[in-house]
Amino acid sequence: MSMATILPRARAAKNGSANDTIQLGIIGVGSKARGHIEHLLGLEGVRIVALCDVDAANLDHGQSILREQGVRAKGYRDMRRLLDNPEVDAVVIVTPNHWHALATIWACQAGKDVYVEKPVTHNLWEGKKVVEAARKYKRVVQAGTQNRSDTGFRQAIEYIREGRIGKTQWMHGLWFKERKSLGRVPGPQVIPDGVDYDLWTGPAPMEPLMRQRLHYDWHWDWDTGNGDMGNLGAHQLDDCAHALGATTLPKRFLCLGGRYARADDGETPNVQAAFLEFENAPPVIVELRGLPHQTGGKYMDNLRGVRSGNIVQCENGYFSGGRGGGIIYDNDGKRMEKFPGDRGLTHFENWLEAIRTRKRSSLRAEIEVGVRSANLCHLANLAFRSGLPTTTDEVERRVGQYGHATDTVHSIASHLEANDVDLKGAALTCSQWMSYDSVKMEFSGGGDYGNSIANALVKPNYRAPYEVPKRV
């Protein structure tokens, strides 16, 4: 292949430089981006030339990692200035979730290719806009759902699809990871020195900081995060869609949960389960637990030994795993096949290769795929938010269409009891079985109350000048 054919199109078109190195800008240099920087520094044919963060301390930290490796990158506070830099071919967006869509759209408009972290959007409406932007500006946009690149998980999916252990009966994705209390602040907190809070807040409502930590704990505030369903659950929902080959949204879904045993500043549930039914596919459950196995306990619950991953139950056995590969067992629990994985380490390489070839079809998590998976998080969360306090008996009645669903409800109830949650009252918030029309962008099935709550949350009121544009 000649140099000319592997030139990243954006920079080649702009300055015609005979340089096949893809020059990257990193937007958002918090905890996740540091791992990305270390990984990207080890790859050939790519150079980090710009970093952007609204927190001067995080920007400095990112630059010091680069300096240690002899790399100098321009620093920016405002991503729009980074996007103005013609030396930048492509950007890696690692901001909090409420910025993902707008940053992606701005980057596409500026002619940059994009790697955007999961969930690629903060709400349902943004999904359409990021895909429109990627298509209009012909950008190569990869979602940061790296399990799609895991060698072992991909092989296991093939094995299951070939019917080697019979028909799939159900799939259960789960992530049981303790989340400590955030504490409760008495009033608005001082914004840390060196942070541009207007830029940090961006498209979200401008509210005083009402928690101890600005960074990371935005996950538990609906204005900026998507709870653990849009965080850890984003991977499990994506794994389910990947394993089942789901290319549409579920025909109906129900979500239950609550925030328990943590009287703190977090809003989002710390125990949550989504039940999804896709057309012509087995039922899916994605379940998250942020509490230990019992009050004050040191361990987390597990399902067949899994604390983060998936169980795919088939007629003659099951798969257990996900990121990092996994194992096929027979129904007596005897190992049949092992699929060692690589934790999706080539996900960036897959993106960089597609930038060179301009073949978006070769991306393992092209933006449309990323949007679909993000939409699963949003459907689950909007169903949860439109739910009402419900007795366990009623929850069981509602979801109990098949054995594993009933077992899951029982298991959640026992888990809550072990954490001293009184289930005699209606302790679980539970939705009805709802449906979503992605063309009309409208919910149904949730009752007048449920539908109206969910419909009102399809698109937020953005804060000027950070509106996600109607026309990209």
Ligand X SMILES: NC(=O)c1ccc[n+]([C@@H]2O[C@H](COP(=O)([O-])OP(=O)(O)OC[C@H]3O[C@@H](n4cnc5c(N)ncnc54)[C@H](O)[C@@H]3O)[C@@H](O)[C@H]2O)c1
Burial class of 277 by CB neighbour count within 10 A (0 to 12, 13 to 18, 19+)? middle
Q: How far apart are CA 83 and CA 87, in angstroms?
A: 9
Least gap, CB of 431 to ligand X (angstroms) = 24
Least gap, CB of 117 to ligand X (angstroms) = 4
**For the residues of 131-171, what is the DSSP string, one character each?**
HHHHHHTT--EEES-GGGG-HHHHHHHHHHHTTTT-SEEEE
Cβ-count burial 421-438 (b if 16+ within 10 Å, e if not): beeeeebbbbbbbbbbee
Would you say 230 or 292 has its CB closer to ligand X? Answer: 230
Residue sitting closest to ligand X (CB) = 30
Least gap, CB of 288 to ligand X (angstroms) = 14
Bond into 465 cis (ω within 30): yes
Residue located via tokens 């328990």: 260
415, containing H or E segment:
helix 403-418
Would you say 33 or 468 has its CB closer to ligand X? Answer: 33
Residue type at position 82: L
Would you say 117 or 264 has its CB closer to ligand X? Answer: 117
Burial class of 251 by CB neighbour count within 10 A (0 to 12, 13 to 18, 19+)? middle
By CB under 6 A, name the binding residues for ligand X: 27-33, 52-55, 58, 79, 94-97, 99, 117-118, 144, 146, 199-200, 202, 215-216, 231
Would you say 220 or 329 has its CB closer to ligand X? Answer: 220
Would you say 52 or 314 has its CB closer to ligand X? Answer: 52
Least gap, CB of 128 to ligand X (angstroms) = 20
Q: Could you tell me the CA-to-CA distances from 370 to 127, 247, 254, 418, 449 in Å, in that order?
A: 9, 11, 21, 36, 30
Would you say 210 or 388 has its CB closer to ligand X? Answer: 210
First to last CA, the chain: 34
Least gap, CB of 224 to ligand X (angstroms) = 9
Least gap, CB of 419 to ligand X (angstroms) = 26
Would you say 204 or 281 has its CB closer to ligand X? Answer: 204
Residue positions counted in the chain: 472
Least gap, CB of 102 to ligand X (angstroms) = 9
Residue located via tokens 């013609």: 86
